[in-house]
Amino acid sequence: MIHRSRRRRRPMAIGASVLVALAAALAVPATSLTAWADSQPAGTVAETPHLDAVEQALRQVAPGLDGSVWQRTDGNQLVDPGTGAAGDGWVLQTPGCWGDPACTDRAGTRRLLAGITATIAKATRTVDISSLAPLPNGAFQDAIVAGLKAAATRHQLRVRILVGAVPGVNLNVVPSTYRNELAARLGADAANVSLNVASVTTSKTGFSWNHSKILVVDGATAIVGGINDWKDDYLDTTHPVTDLDMAVTGPAARSAGGYLDTLWAWTCGRKWDPAYVWFAASSGASCMASMQRDAHPAPVPGTGSVPVIAVGGLGIGITSGTGSGRLAAPPADTKCGVAAVYDYTNTDAAYDSVNPEETALRTLIGSATSRIDISQQDLNGVCPPLPRYDVRLYDVLAAKLAAGVKVRIVVSDPRNHGTAGSGGYSQIESLAEISDVLRNRLALRTGDQQSARAAMCRGLQLASFRGSDADKWADGQPHALHHKVVSVDGAAFYIGSKNLYPAWLQDFGYIVEDRTAAGQLAQSVLDPEWRYSSAAATVDYARQICPQ
């Protein structure tokens, strides 16, 4: 179990083509929030109604996973991983070329890569990395190698690298090849590195594999978010994917390491079964199932004052849930033809109990009293074979709109929609697929379609993503968005790897409640995003653009 930080208690206010399509969609290849960005007066204890609501929900749905899959901590700090400075440097966005369709100056990407190197270079004991296959390449790999060489010249290191593998798709992701190439690049310093590399699928029939994107160093510093370590999608291209990570120091970093221990415990237990795990280790290294717990048994000291809930999910195949019974039958439009599979998202209480991040995100959205900002790849899933949408998520959004809460949603341009085998960063062909579902769920609450439309006209903004005034990159390709961001009331936000559409993967992220940090996120990411994306809005209460 992960050390639980002491804190002041507050009142709880099927075929190969289908798998290729899944690989693409499951993350393969106007009022400003700054108005709420005031800091708490010195000497006061910040109230945290949003975190309190999320924690209460997590204790109900997954009490047994506190410390292994989710954990609340105080004493954290959001800092620039490259310089250690305060300010908005903890926001690690790529490419960071707002307003330039040619994206000639990728300042965000440079800061991200420098932050990866600087973080790893400070390692004295452990480095933990997770991502989605393929394994890190290009400048991402260069950044990792540079950091490892700097650290390994001074210290003996234990290093784990785990990627999720889409069955039938990632057959060229061979851990032993990566191990050998990494050792060659480290040269003499490789002797100071005990290395584990694994490519993992936890369930083929359940379409489940690792999707988290985590870097943890010494259990004390972490970079977490949605960015995969892929050069072709993010770096060596004239139409880079827009994405986001965040950097944190303190006990929340240890929470991320504990989550990776949970994934590695399963991985080490199945490392001899190539149907699920491809594993490689450096000479003499065993499978390090509990590296974080073994290397960092003492509590991680606080570095600041920011409260954080770290929350992940185990997908399918790692452990059985403790929830019992079935949820209410979902509406018929969540299914897509005869290829639809069993709906874990909308029907299975046991699935809920081992994937608490989904409850956490719905609860975070439900805790909003004034506004909700959502920046996502999509709200609708890979249908078929997976369910079209999360009914409870849409119902929470409908309830908030009916109550007068302003809702802004930005998703990846639907022109990124790909057919099986062609990739793509969108699961929809039109924003109407989102607004139609939302209006139908609203109508169940308001009584009819007309009143539902009126509620959307009063409070919704829905747009496809743009990074500049141009509707495409200079090379003619549409803007692709891979954010997994939810922000509420200018006070609390989620950054991680979990999509809001149905996907049964291993994911992880942070929920932070801090007005200063929320304001920094708005100024650096959400405000410029809407500045350019608003031109593509199909619903915008501020400009009286209503759904048809």
- Return the domain boundaries, the chain: 49-540
pLDDT (0 to 100) of residue 203: 97
- Is 314 strand, coil or helix? strand
Reported pTM = 0.92
Active site residue 211: yes
One DSSP character per residue, 223-260 reads EEES----HHHHTSSSSPPBEEEEEEESHHHHHHHHHH
State pLDDT tens for residues 413-443: 999 997 543 457 999 999 999 999 999 999 9
State pLDDT tens for residues 347-365: 999 999 999 999 999 999 9
pLDDT (0 to 100) of residue 7: 39
Active site residue 343: no
Active site residue 3: no
Note the Cα 356 to chain centre separation in Å. Answer: 14
- Please provide the average confidence, as pLDDT, over all residues in the chain: 91
Q: In one letter, which amino acid is 98?
A: W
pLDDT (0 to 100) of residue 184: 98
One DSSP character per residue, 160-215 reads EEEEE--TTT-TT--HHHHHHHHHHHHGGGGGGEEEEEEEEEEETTTTEEB--EEE
State pLDDT tens for residues 20-52: 444 444 444 433 333 223 333 344 456 999 999
pLDDT (0 to 100) of residue 419: 53
CATH architecture label of 49-540: 2-Layer Sandwich (3.30)
State pLDDT tens for residues 272-307: 999 999 999 999 999 999 999 999 999 999 999 999
112 near 234, Cβ under 8 Å? no
Average pLDDT over residues 235-258: 98
State pLDDT tens for residues 426-485: 999 999 999 999 999 999 999 999 999 999 999 999 999 999 999 999 999 999 999 999
Annotated active-site residue in 348, 378, 390, 507:
507
State pLDDT tens for residues 312-358: 999 999 998 876 666 777 888 898 877 778 999 999 999 999 999 99
Annotated active-site residue in 211, 296, 417, 483:
211
Residue 315, phi-psi category: left (phi > 0), alpha (psi -120 to 50), beta (remainder) = left
Active site residue 417: no
Annotated active-site residue in 50, 417, 482, 483:
482
10 has pLDDT over 70: no
Listed residue (340, 455, 335) closest to 403, CA to CA: 455
Taking the C-alpha atoms of residue 393 and residue 390, their distance in angstroms, rounded to an integer, is 5
Please calculate the CA angle 76-77-83 and round it to the nearest 5 degrees. Answer: 145
pLDDT (0 to 100) of residue 323: 66
Annotated active-site residue in 189, 218, 233, 243:
243
**Percent share of the chain, pLDDT over 70:** 90
pLDDT (0 to 100) of residue 185: 98
| Tokens describing residue 254 | 């240890």
| Tokens describing residue 248 | 């944190």
104 has pLDDT over 90: yes
12 has pLDDT over 70: no
